[in-house]
Structure 1
Amino acid sequence: MRWEVFRQGKRGDYHKHCGDVHAPDREMATLFAQIQHGRRMTTNSLWVVPSDEVTEIDADDTAFGGRTDKAYRWATTYNVDASFAQEVADSEREQAAVEGGEVGGSDATETSTASGETASDGGDG
């Protein structure tokens, strides 16, 4: 029987496939794996698995996980014409005027005086 061997070099590393061994049972496979693959390099642990228990998941099978491409997060596909840009600029100007205390939209603006009277800038006066 054939057994696949995965080796972890140091604690925290991933286990990587390092080869296989041929043995009649699990105990012998573990012993052969230690001798053949555990002594070559520094080894923290070994996984010894029957070859027929290893399953491959290829690119076609990974579709179950959903999209891994996060392109939908970037606004690169919106079609915006020039009129929209003008609308945004007008809106920003209006917002700045409101935040600055100015009221836009007409040539004559009224301001309140300290006595509560209203003074007009744009009329006959």
Structure 2
Amino acid sequence: MIWEVFRQEDAGDSHTHVGNVHAPDREMALLFAQVQHARRKPTNSLWVASQEEIGEMGAEESAFGGTTNKSYRWAMTYNYEPTAEEVAESESEQAEADRARSGD
């Protein structure tokens, strides 16, 4: 059975996928994951998940959130004078995020 391994370097960090191991059960998978993925790097925790239990969603199915215009939620749609420093920073961050989403 194939087990996918997720590693967390420091407490509070996100777990990231680091590879997989072949093992007959969860306990052996954890042991193999510890040897292969945690022995040389600082590791706070490891997760193993059966490959059969991991679902996948394609790009078209996951695009649900980007189908409607919600620009009214962004500070850049409101033009108040004078612009506070925090608002200017927020506008530039949101404009950059918008460009990244649209692929420009």
> In 2, Cα distance between the equivalents of 1:44 and 1:60?
35
Larger radius of gyration: 1
Question: Closer, same or farther in 2 for the Cα pair 1:39/1:57, shift >3 Å?
Answer: same
Structure 2 CA distance for aligned equivalents of residues 23 and 2 of structure 1 = 6
Identity fraction in percent: 61
State how far apart, in whole Å, the 2-side matches of 1:69 and 1:51 are.
Answer: 36
Q: How does 1:1-125 map to 2 (within 5 A)?
A: 1-65=1-65, 67=67, 70-73=70-73, 74=77
Distance 1:40 1:70, change over 3 A: farther
* Number of residue pairs matched by the alignment: 75
Cα pair distance change 1:44/1:65, threshold 3 Å: same
Query: Over aligned residue pairs, what C-alpha RMSD do you find?
Result: 2.2
The separation in 2 between residues aligned to 1:68 and 1:58, in whole angstroms, is 19
1:54: how far off? 1.0
> CA offset at residue 59 of structure 1?
2.3
Any idea what the Cα deviations from partners look like across 1:4-57, whole Å, max 9, x if unmatched? 000000001100000100011111111101111111210000000001111122
Distance of 1:56 and 1:68 partners within structure 2: 23
- For the residue of structure 2 that corresponds to 1:60, the secondary structure is helix
SS at match of 1:18: strand
Q: Which has the higher contact order (CA 8 A, sep 6+)?
A: 2
Following the alignment from structure 1 to structure 2, what is the Cα–Cα distance between the partners of residues 36 and 25? 16
Mapped partners of 1:22, 1:34: distance in 2: 13
Structure (1/2) with the larger helix percentage: 2
Residue 68 and residue 12 in structure 1: after superposition, are their counterparts in 2 closer, same or farther (change >3 A)? farther
TM-score where L is the length of structure 1: 0.52
